[in-house]
Homo-oligomer: A and B are copies of this chain.
Amino acid sequence: MSELGYDADLPAHVERALGAFLGRAGEEICHTEPSVRTGIDALSEFVLGGGKRLRPTFAWWAWRGAGGDPAGADAEGVVQAAASLELIQACALIHDDLIDSSDSRRGSPTVHIAFAKHHADNGWLGSPATFGLAAAVLIGDLALAWADDMFADASLPPATMARARPAWRAMRTEVLAGQYLDMRTQATGDTSVEAALRIDMLKTAAYTVQRPLHLGASLAGADDELISTLLRFGGDVGVAFQLRDDLLGVFGDPSVTGKPAGDDLREGKRTLLVALGLERAAQQGRANVVTVISDAVGNAELADTDVDNVRQALVEVGAVDAVEQRIDELTGTAMAALDRAHLADPAPAELTELVVKATKRAY
């Protein structure tokens, strides 16, 4: 447990709250049915095993910035409510890894892979892959149900909780809508700039930044004007985050990003970077460049030299510069919105630091 206060070490407090909740909830159901222990343990390890705690951090600083008192009666309840966002994220990642057939996350096997292996190692009946699928679906579902339990059980006055529900509701629906849109866009082969931006808006901006800020601010009783300013800030920051992530996914150092260079291309991710690359190459009449890029996207067998060719193409047609410029613009408008929000100290400085860290060039 952290000896530091909430402001100084929020991630440690978030992890303490998650650990306590998962311990309680896990004991309760394992008391009823001991054989679910392996599933519960897998969820706990997943949730407690890593992550930047970005969503709780945004929620916390919005709460602080809107007047929340870290020494007040609500602070611990706000930490618990904010920490519950990590359980939504656990569901999203576990189910996403299953849908994308991803083998590893944060250097460990994904849940469906780990359970398929558990099945095979034990020589159980039926198909290991089906067992892995079932485990990942059910453990993800449990994370989603428990997110709601952890949120609802935060010790905060009913009126405070009622104010926070619109943000809570929107967050879960929007992330699922974003994932749905993402898979639909990959299926239809829509490579437009517009589709890429809509996915960025729902999957990253709304879910990772806007709604956590909205949640924190509404727990502090912020008025509509402040909330709407924070949503502006969060929308721009969130898209900028995603654009930086897209660049790292193609140009990033694998030792820093934790995934093989070019994996975003192999997975067929529809990013603004790729959309702009295709659009500009077409505008410039460079049909061969269009082919280089479109053949690469979604090609699971893409060789490293092909990745190099795509990189070069994206630079040459100006897509990389255009994305960098968009990040700069979004960061600028975000900072202006943050200024207008007149948040209480030290929230502006803390939020600025988060923005700088997540949007700066790193390759």
Contact = CB atoms under 8 A, between A and B. Distances in A.
A86 to B, nearest CB: 16
A278 interface: no
Q: How many copies does the complex hold?
A: 2
A39 B176 CA distance: 10
B36 A138 contact: no
A304 interface: no
Interface string A68-112: 000000000000000000000001000100110100000000000
Given A141-B95, A145-B172, A183 B131 contact: yes
A357 interface: no
A232 interface: no
A152 interface: yes
A54 B267 CA distance: 43
A141 B205 CA distance: 20
Q: Is the interface of A mostly helix, strand, loop or mixed?
A: helix
A173 B119 CA distance: 23
Given A135-B180, A144-B144, A181-B35, A169 B188 contact: no
A199 B35 CA distance: 11
Interface in A179-201: 179-181, 183-184, 186-189, 198
Interface stretch (A122-130, A233-241, A326-334): A122-130
B298 A125 contact: yes
A311 interface: no
B119 A187 contact: yes
B148 A91 contact: no
19 contacts: A29-B177, A33-B177, A39-B180, A95-B137, A95-B138, A101-B130, A122-B187, A125-B186, A125-B189, A126-B187, A126-B268, A134-B183, A138-B180, A141-B141, A145-B148, A145-B172, A145-B176, A149-B172, A152-B152
